[in-house]
Amino acid sequence: MAASAEDNENLVPVTVLTGFLGSGKTTLLNHILTATHGKKIAVIENEFGDVGIDDELLQKNSKVQADEEIIEMMNGCICCTVRQDLITVLSKLAKRVASGKLKLDGIVIETTGLADPAPVAQTFFVDDAVKAFARLDGIVTLIDAKHIELHLDEEKPEGVENEAVEQVAFADRLLLNKIDLVSEADLFRIESRLKGINAFAPILRTEKAQVSVDSVLNIKAFDLKKTLDMDPEFLNTDGEHEHDNSVSSISIIQPGNVDLELVQKWVGQLLQEKGAQIYRMKGVLSISNADEKFVYQAVHMLFRGNFDEKWEAGEPRESKLVFIGKNLDEKELRDGFNACIDTPEVLEKRIKTLRFAMGTKVECKTGGGWVKGEVVAHMYRDEFMPPGMVAPYQVKLDSGELIWAPEDVNNLIRKA
Ligand SMILES: Nc1nc2c(ncn2[C@@H]2O[C@H](COP(=O)(O)OP(=O)(O)OP(=O)(O)O)[C@@H](O)[C@H]2O)c(=O)[nH]1
């Protein structure tokens, strides 16, 4: 969980479009491409089997808006050929943007109706060149109101995932489409069911995928405030869990600050141990000794986070976290997070685990080799350190110079 210094504002937002076969993905794409919004959008198509049909449809409809780039990836399902093709396509786009030949406001990737969106989304967490160019903005899942219950109910053989459930679980926005084909009572029942799986994706009802482009593109998926603005009820999931599904969502809202190092360790361990069952994780953290919000998201075990905008004066400092996944253990997640809250007791406990007491004669590894000194402070922080960082020791060298040790490990600081 390394905080990167990348400037998110300059990265091209990428929308991953998913949804069962026939749910309306192409209809939505056409709508995005033909609506007047003045944005230049590249579309990456991934069709399996009937390659070309969607592409033709799009080109016909988007003639008026010749700015879009439509790229088709012919070699099968993204989640099988995995990320390499996608990386190649994105790198080409990046080059053209860098050379000034192409200005891009967004990228939309349409996944095949059966694909698990995770490998597509994960591309934006793993490849350095891609990370420097684009960011995963959100996963938008189209729901066919007429058929979704059938797909959610479908029994799969042992060990085989139900793609319809997964697509709902991964979503940052759910478009409940084809509302003209069902009754209000059906819609209400379906919405309850969807919230039981994913309580955090606002649900937008649509006919022919007619939706404001701003509510699906550049939505900054981790922005819980925006989500709450769109759907103030989204954290209110009481009574909506009548379906005892193994895929569900959990949120934590915690006032105060958490310690960066503790939370890094916790998240690292969590994703290592539970990454397969945590589909999505996202949030905004209030970190001690940092003026900026730490925003992050993860898709399975791949994590991406950075310090973002500043906390405003008077804005309450609090952390908001969301987990969506299979067989989540709410108590374990809450306990794990609570242990990262920065309190005087936690600080004292951490000081007790340090190897060297105040006044201990030590040697520190410096640019000029091992240098002798004495521990003069525990859990030291100054304004020149990166946001959130606290050093276990401040050391006064025999020369009188004050330095700090970034970690309590023997190859950086040892007994003299
Ligand atoms: N009645 C009705 N039909 C719709 C609506 N939205 C889309 N359709 C129709 O549903 C069919 C499938 O829509 P597509 O947009 O091709 O769906 P898709 O998700 O791209 O399908 P695949 O590419 O096969 O995965 C088309 O015939 C659409 O015209 C809607 O809101 N109501």
Distance, CA 185 to ligand 1 centroid (Å)? 22
Q: Is residue 208 in contact with ligand 1, taking CB distance under 6 Å?
A: yes
Distance, CA 5 to ligand 1 centroid (Å)? 41
What's the rounded Cα separation, in Å, for the pair 98 and 144?
39
Nearest-CA residue for atom 3 of ligand 1: 178
- Would you say 111 and 46 are in contact if contact means Cβ atoms under 8 Å apart? yes
What domains are there in the chain, each with its CATH number?
Answer: 8-219 (3.40.50.300), 247-342 (3.30.1220.10), 350-415 (2.30.30.140)
Amino acid residing at 380 = Y
**Per-block average pLDDT, block size 10, for the chain (416 residues)?**
55 92 90 82 66 42 45 51 74 87 87 74 84 92 94 78 87 95 95 90 94 90 63 50 66 92 93 88 93 90 88 92 89 95 92 95 94 96 93 96 94 94
So what's the pLDDT on residue 277? 87
Nearest-CA residue for atom 9 of ligand 1: 24
Nearest-CA residue for atom 12 of ligand 1: 22
Structure tokens at 189: 């029942």
Question: Is the entire prediction scored with pTM above 0.95?
Answer: no
Residue 213 DSSP class: G
Pocket test residue of 17, 18, 27 for ligand 1, highest count of atoms within 8 A of CB: 27
Distance, CA 164 to ligand 1 centroid (Å)? 16
Exposed e or buried b per residue across 242-256, where buried means at least 16 C-beta atoms within 10 angstroms of its C-beta = eeebebbbbbbebee
Distance, CA 240 to ligand 1 centroid (Å)? 28
Q: Is residue 180 in contact with ligand 1, taking CB distance under 6 Å?
A: yes
Q: Is residue 22 in contact with ligand 1, taking CB distance under 6 Å?
A: yes
Q: ipTM of this complex > 0.95?
A: yes
What's the rounded Cα separation, in Å, for the pair 342 and 201?
30
Q: H/E element holding 328?
A: none
Q: H/E element holding 19?
A: strand 12-19
Tell the burial category of 26 from Cβ atoms under 10 Å away from its Cβ (0-12, 13-18, 19+).
buried
